C-alpha cells in the first residue's frame, strides 16, 4: 500500500514529462484545457468567417486549379502552430469546399446537419471512446444500445431483434448479405459454419434478388463475400421504379428450374435515383413463401420512420429479417452515422470472434456488453451519441417534420419542372429526388440531348451557383435533384431551374450541336 501511494505522489510532484521536445503540449489532458478552448474558438472563427463569405454552395474550382496549392506543402515540415495550419487549411480546403448546408446544394444524398449532431461530435471526439468493448466505453455502450432499441421500435421489429451502428449503408448492406449467406448455409447444413469452414461447394449456385434500381453496394457485397456479382439477379421495375413483385416471383421460380438456389431478396425503401419504395408487403409474402431472407435497404427512406405524415409508406418493413438505416442521410446527422438491424439477434454471431485480449467468451458469459461481438469493425466511433443528442434536444417529431418538409418541397419542385416546356420529367417523386432532362426542342438526336444535359451539370458545377447531380436511365443522360434541406425553398428551386435552362439554351445554340441536328 505504502509503495503504491509513494509512486503516485512522486508522479504528482512533477515527474511527468512536460518538456516540449517530446511534444507533450500537444496532448489533450487537463493541463491543456486552455489550449483546447483556444483552438476550438479558432476553428469556430475560421468556419464562421468562411460561412459568412460563402454565397455559393461551391467555388467552382477544378482539380488542376486546386492541386498546385497542395503540391508546395511539405508534410515533413510542420508549421508547429495551429493558427498557421488553419490559415493554410482555409486556402487548400475550406475556401473551395462543397457546402451541403447551402439551399442550392441539391445533388447527392448529403443532408444539412443539425446542431445537436455537431454538439455530440465535439464531446465524443474529446472523450474519444471506442464502442467496441465495455471497458473502452462504459456508458457509451449503453447509449448506443438504447438508440438501437429505439430504432428497432420505430421499425417495428419484435423482441429478440438487435442492431449495431455502422459506417453507413454500404457496411450495413454487407452485413445483411453476410448474415443472409451464413444463416442460409447453417439452415441447410447444421454443421457448416461459413466463418469456420469457408464457403461450401454449392455456394456458386446461391442467388440474391434485388431491383435494377437497388444500390451498387449489394453487388459489391456479394463480390466481397465470395459469391460474385453473378450471384445478384436484378429484377425489372414497374412504371414507378419499384421492384415488380410478379417478375420477382417468376425469377425465383426460374432459378429453381435452372438448379440455382435463391437465398435472399433485397428490397429498397428509397432507391438512390428515384426514391422509389419497393412493394414491401408483396416482397414479404414472397420471402415467407420461398423461405428467403428479406433485407430492406432503407438507407435513404429511413427518414419516414419518424415522419408524422408519411410513416405508413414503410409498411411491411417490420417483416424484414434485416434493415439498413443511414442516419447521415435522412436524419440530418454528420458523416458517418448508420446502423444495421436484424430480426433475430443470434444471426449476429456470424460476425463474432472472441479475442482473449479484448472480448473473451468469459465476458459474454458474465453478461458484459461488448458491442464488438456484433460488428465487423473493431475500434469504432461513438456515432450513436449524435442520434442520442438529436433525440434528447430536438426530438423525433421535429426530425420527422423536417423530412416531411423536404418531401413537400419535392412535390412543388416536380410541379415547377412539369410546367416547363423544355424539361422532360421522368417520374413523380416518391421521396425527395427528381430525375429530369432538358430538351431544347424536338428532333434532336439522343446523343445531342445527352451531351447538352451532361454539359449543363458541368457548367453549373463550374459556376458554383448550384450543385445538381447527373444519372443515366436506360443509357440516356439525365439530371437529378436530391432535396434534403428543409431551408431550401421553392424560390431557390425556381432559381436553380432558371440556371439549368439558361445553360441549356446556351449549349444548344452551339454550332456543333446544331450540326448534329439533322
Ligand X SMILES: *Cc1c(COP(=O)(O)O)cnc(C)c1O
Closest approach of Cβ 174 to ligand X, in Å?
9
Measured CA to CA, the distance from residue 68 to residue 457 in angstroms comes to: 25
- Rounded to whole angstroms, the Cα distance separating 2 from 506 reads 85
Pairing of strands 433-438, 423-425: antiparallel
Q: CA dist 179 to 6, 116, 172, 505, Å? A: 54, 33, 11, 51
Considering the complex, state which of residue 109 and residue 500 has its C-beta at the smaller distance from ligand X: 109
Write b or e for each residue in 297-334: b if 16 or more Cβ atoms lie within 10 A of its Cβ, otherwise e. bbbbbbbbbbbeebeebbebbbbbbbbbbbbbbbbbbb
Minimum CB separation from ligand X for residue 334, in Å?
A: 12
Contacts of 163 (CB under 8 A, 6+ apart): 148, 151, 152, 339, 340, 341, 342, 374
What is the SS3 string spanning 170-185?
Answer: HHHHHHHHHHHHHHHH
Residue with smaller CB distance to ligand X, 143 or 175:
175
Residue 169 or 440 with smaller CB distance to ligand X: 169
Strand positions, DSSP E, 85-237: 105-106, 162-166, 206-211, 232-235
Q: Minimum distance between the CB of residue 173 and ligand X, rounded to whole angstroms?
A: 6
CB closer to ligand X out of 129 and 170: 170
- Give min distance, CB of 270 to ligand X, in A: 6
Task: Provide, rounded to whole angstroms, the least separation between the CB of residue 277 and ligand X.
Answer: 11
Give the shortest CB-161-to-ligand X separation in angstroms.
Answer: 20
Continuous H helices in 419-465:
446-463
Q: How far is the CB of 9 from ligand X (least distance, A)?
A: 51
Scanning the structure block, which residue is given the C-alpha cell 457509451? 140
Q: Which is nearer to ligand X, 113 or 203 (CB)?
A: 113
Q: Is 484 exposed, middle or buried (0-12, 13-18, 19+ CB in 10 A)?
A: buried
Q: Where are the beta strands (DSSP E) in 169-306?
A: 206-211, 232-235, 261-268, 293-298
Instruction: List residues near ligand X by CB under 6 A.
Output: 109, 168-170, 173, 215, 217, 268, 272, 297, 299-300, 326, 338
- Residue 170 or residue 322: which is nearer to ligand X going by CB? 170
Cβ proximity to ligand X: between 267 and 459 the closer is 267
Amino acid at each position: 500500500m505504502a509503495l503504491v501511494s509513494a509512486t503516485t505522489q512522486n508522479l504528482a510532484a512533477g515527474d511527468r514529462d512536460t518538456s516540449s521536445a517530446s511534444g507533450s503540449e500537444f496532448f489533450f489532458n487537463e493541463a491543456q484545457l486552455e489550449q483546447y478552448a483556444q483552438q476550438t474558438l479558432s476553428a469556430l472563427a475560421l468556419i464562421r468567417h468562411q460561412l459568412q463569405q460563402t454565397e455559393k454552395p461551391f467555388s467552382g474550382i477544378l482539380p488542376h486549379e486546386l492541386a498546385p496549392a497542395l503540391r508546395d506543402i511539405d508534410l515533413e515540415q510542420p508549421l508547429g502552430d495551429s493558427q498557421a495550419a488553419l490559415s493554410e487549411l482555409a486556402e487548400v480546403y475550406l475556401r473551395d469546399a462543397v457546402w451541403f448546408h447551402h439551399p442550392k446544394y441539391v445533388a447527392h444524398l448529403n443532408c444539412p446537419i443539425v446542431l445537436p449532431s455537431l454538439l455530440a461530435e465535439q464531446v465524443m471526439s474529446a472523450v474519444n471512446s471506442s464502442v467496441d468493448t465495455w471497458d473502452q466505453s462504459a456508458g457509451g455502450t449503453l447509449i448506443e444500445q438504447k438508440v438501437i432499441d429505439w430504432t428497432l421500435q420505430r421499425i417495428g421489429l419484435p423482441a429478440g431483434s438487435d442492431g449495431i451502428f455502422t459506417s453507413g449503408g454500404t457496411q450495413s448492406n454487407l452485413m445483411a448479405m453476410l448474415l443472409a449467406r451464413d444463416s442460409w448455409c447453417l439452415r441447410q447444413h447444421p454443421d457448416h459454419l461459413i466463418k469456420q469452414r469457408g464457403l461450401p461447394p454449392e455456394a456458386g449456385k446461391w442467388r440474391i434478388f434485388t431491383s435494377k434500381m437497388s444500390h451498387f453496394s449489394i453487388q459489391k457485397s456479394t463480390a466481397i463475400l465470395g459469391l460474385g456479382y453473378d450471384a445478384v439477379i436484378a429484377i425489372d421495375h414497374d412504371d414507378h421504379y419499384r421492384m415488380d413483385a410478379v417478375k420477382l416471383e417468376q425469377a425465383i421460380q426460374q432459378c429453381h428450374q435452372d438448379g440455382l438456389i435463391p437465398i435472399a431478396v433485397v428490397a429498397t425503401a428509397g432507391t438512390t435515383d428515384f426514391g422509389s419504395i419497393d412493394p414491401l408487403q408483396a416482397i414479404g409474402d414472397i420471402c415467407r413463401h420461398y423461405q428467403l431472407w428479406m433485407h430492406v435497404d432503407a438507407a435513404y427512406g429511413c427518414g419516414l420512420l419518424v415522419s408524422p405524415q408519411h410513416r405508413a409508406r414503410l409498411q411491411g418493413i417490420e417483416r424484414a429479417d434485416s434493415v439498413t438505416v443511414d442516419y447521415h442521410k435522412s436524419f440530418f446527422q454528420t458523416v458517418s452515422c448508420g446502423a444495421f438491424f436484424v430480426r433475430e439477434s443470434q444471426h449476429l454471431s456470424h460476425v463474432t470472434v472472441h479475442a482473449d485480449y479484448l472480448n473473451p467468451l468469459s465476458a459474454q458469459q458474465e453478461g458484459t456488453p461488448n458491442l464488438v461481438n456484433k460488428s465487423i469493425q473493431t475500434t469504432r466511433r461513438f456515432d450513436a451519441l449524435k442520434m442520442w443528442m438529436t433525440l434528447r434536444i430536438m426530438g423525433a417529431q421535429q426530425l420527422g417534420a423536417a423530412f416531411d418538409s423536404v418531401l413537400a418541397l419535392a412535390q412543388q419542385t416536380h410541379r415547377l419542372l412539369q410546367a416547363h416546356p423544355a424539361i422532360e420529367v421522368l417520374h413523380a417523386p416518391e421521396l425527395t429526388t427528381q430525375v429530369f432532362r432538358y430538351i431544347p426542342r424536338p428532333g434532336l438526336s439522343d446523343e445531342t440531348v445527352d451531351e447538352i444535359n451532361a454539359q449543363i451539370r458541368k457548367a453549373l458545377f463550374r459556376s458554383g451557383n448550384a450543385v445538381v447531380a447527373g444519372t443515366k436511365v436506360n443509357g440516356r443522360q439525365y439530371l437529378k435533384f436530391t432535396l434534403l434541406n428543409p431551408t431550401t425553398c421553392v424560390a431557390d428551386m425556381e432559381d436553380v431551374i432558371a440556371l439549368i435552362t439558361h445553360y441549356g439554351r446556351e449549349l444548344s445554340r452551339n454550332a456543333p450541336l446544331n450540326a448534329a441536328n439533322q
